[in-house]
Amino acid sequence: MNSTVRLAVQKSGRLSEGSMKLISSCGIHVSNGKGKLKAMASNFPIEFLFLRDDDIPGYVADGVADLGIVGENVVAEKDKDVKAIKKLGFSRCRLSIAIEKSKPYKGIQDLEGKNIATSYPKILGDYLSKNGVKADIHEISGSVEIAPSIGLAEAVCDIVSSGSTLFTNGLKEVETIYRSEAVMIANHNLDAEKEEIINKLLFRIEALQSAQNNKYILLNAPEQSLDKIISLLPGMRSPTVLPLAEKGWVSVHSVINENDFWEKIEGLREAGAEGILVVPIEKMIL
């Protein structure tokens, strides 16, 4: 296999950090020295392009890059001809409309005829149109939160993570219009060799995601309670049961989904389980 896949990632910022952490966790080694715009992995057929996140969908659509890691909000806003192939579970945020704290707000119709400043005119325009609201959208890049205080707009529409930036600038969220996380996008026209490389990369990512969503659990239990405990811990196929040195006791090993963790733990204790250990999983191959 002589093909190399080109992957575009943000050159700096939180999305960049999350992307490179993911790549590293997949066992792919890359040295991207300060200021470098290209780098080749040493142990996987993949080349990295370090770009502005706004440019990534265009590079992928044009075939300059085969893959890209970017926020779903950027993919939706740029509206390029790319396909989303994997949600990555980091850099979660929301796109929200905010107004001054002192202003009353009864609903989306309050924005009728207002000026709204944003870096996301397409997403905002689609949302307003869907809700039958006509407003004047002012596209600006950066420092959107300052718009109401300088008289540019009565409202803003911007990315929100914690909401602290809005609060600091005297604003309050009134509408969440889009939820986003990092996503891997791909060009539509990839040859078979590149598809094979991408499938290998996705396999590694899925192993990581499966591990993050599950925990390995070990516990000791009396044999008489085993049926009840197994019913609480179905695992991937069935729990592993091993005899202990003490007669009448066994050790049970299984995998538990993190969302079910606390509910299951209470049930296991009530069924007689003791010495419960819960261990994070680094990678999980299904």
User: Tell me, what's the pLDDT at 281?
Assistant: 86
For residue 143, the model assigns a pLDDT of: 84
pLDDT band at 197 (very low <50, low <70, confident <90, very high): very high
Best CA proximity match to 278, nearest among 270, 261, 266: 261
Average confidence (pLDDT) over 162-186: 91
Going by their DSSP bridges, the two strands 155-160 and 93-100 should be labelled as: antiparallel
pLDDT band at residue 235, thresholds of 50, 70 and 90? low
Q: How far is the C-alpha of 111 from the C-alpha of 119, rounded, in Å? A: 17
Residue 101 has pLDDT above 80, yes or no: yes
- Cα separation, 77 vs 57, in Å, equals 10
* List of domains in the chain: 5-87+182-211 (3.40.190.10), 93-180 (3.40.190.10), 214-280 (3.30.70.120)
Which residues make beta-bridge pairs with 277? Answer: 218
**Strands 67-71 and 274-280, bridge-based pairing:** unpaired
Average pLDDT value for the chain: 91
Helix (H) or strand (E) holding 277: strand 274-280
For the cut 70, the answer to whether the pLDDT of residue 183 exceeds it is yes
Distance (Å, whole) CA 138 – CA 135? 10
Q: Is the Cβ–Cβ distance between 267 and 232 less than 8 Å?
A: yes
pLDDT at position 256 is: 84
pLDDT tens-place string over residues 31-85: 866 678 899 999 999 999 999 999 999 999 999 999 999 999 999 999 999 999 9
Neighbours of 5 (CB within 10 A): 23
Beta bridge partners of 33: none
Quote the tokens at residue 202.
């996705």
Helix 14-25 and helix 192-212, axial crossing angle in degrees, nearest 10: 100
What is the torsional sign of CA 199, 202, 206, 207? positive
